[in-house]
Amino acid sequence: MTSHPGDALRAALHAADASTRLQAALSAGTYPRADYVDSLVERCAAEDDFFVRDMLTWALTRHPADLTVPRLIAETASDLPQARSQALHTLSKVGDPRGWAAVTEAVIQDADESVARAAWRAGVILVPVGSEYELARVLSTQLARGDRDVLLSLARALAELGEYARPALETARSHASPEVRAHALAIERLIEDPDDYFDSAIFEALRVVLDSD
C-alpha cells in the first residue's frame, strides 16, 4: 500500500537525524500541500534544532495563508512556550494582516521571554493602521524587563514604532522605577538617532536618571 505524502512527512519530521528533518521541511516548502500544514506546525513546537525550526517556518510561509494563519493563531494559545513563540515568529514571517489577532496583551507580557520577544516583533510587523499607539502602550509595560538581549529586543520594537511610541515612553519617564525610566530614555535616544549604540544609550540614560533623582 502506498504511503500518503502527509504521513511520510510526519514520519520524516520525527526522524532522529536533524539533517533528515531539515530535508523533510525543505521538501514540504518546495512542494507545498494542504495536508502538510498540521505536521509542520506541530513539529515547530518540539523541534530542538535552530536550522530545522527556521526551515519549518520557511515551509509554512510557502503554504496559503488561508491555511496557515488560523492554525498558527490557535497555536499561540498552546501550553508549550516553544509552540507559542514559533507560531508568533512564523506569523511575523507570513506577514498576513490576520495574524494581528494573535498579538494579544497576554503574549506581549508572556512569562517566557522567547514568547514575549516573538510577540514584540510580530506586533511591530503586523500592527494595523490606527493601533500603533495602543501597541506601544502595551509594549511599554515591559520596559526594564530581562537581560541586555531582552532590553534590546524591546528597544528595537518600540524604536521601530517611532513617533507612535513617544507618548508611552514619555509616560514611562515618570515611572517609579529608575530602570524603567532609563530604558525609556534610551529608546527615545535611539528613535532620534537610530545609529546610536544601545549600550551607550542605556548608560547615558541611567546617568541622566540618577542625576535627576
Residue-wise pLDDT tens digits, 134-180: 999 999 999 999 998 999 999 999 999 999 999 999 999 999 999 99
Running DSSP on this structure, what letter comes out for residue 3?
Answer: P
pLDDT at 1: 40
> Which region among 79-93, 148-162, 176-190, 193-207 has the lowest average model confidence (pLDDT)?
193-207
Is residue 195 pLDDT above 90, yes or no? no
Any idea where the domains of the chain sit in the sequence? 144-213
Phi and psi angles of residue 14, each rounded to the nearest 5 degrees, phi first: -105, 10
pTM comes to 0.90
Phi and psi angles of residue 45, each rounded to the nearest 5 degrees, phi first: -75, -20
Alpha carbon distance 176, 196 (integer Å) = 26
Q: Which three cell numbers stand for residue 58?
A: 520557511
Is residue 198 pLDDT above 80, yes or no? no
pLDDT at 2: 43
Q: What is the C-alpha end-to-end distance of the chain, expressed in Å?
A: 76
pLDDT bucket at 3, cuts 50 / 70 / 90: low
Interval 127-132 mean pLDDT? 98
pLDDT at 202: 74
Alpha carbon distance 51, 4 (integer Å) = 26
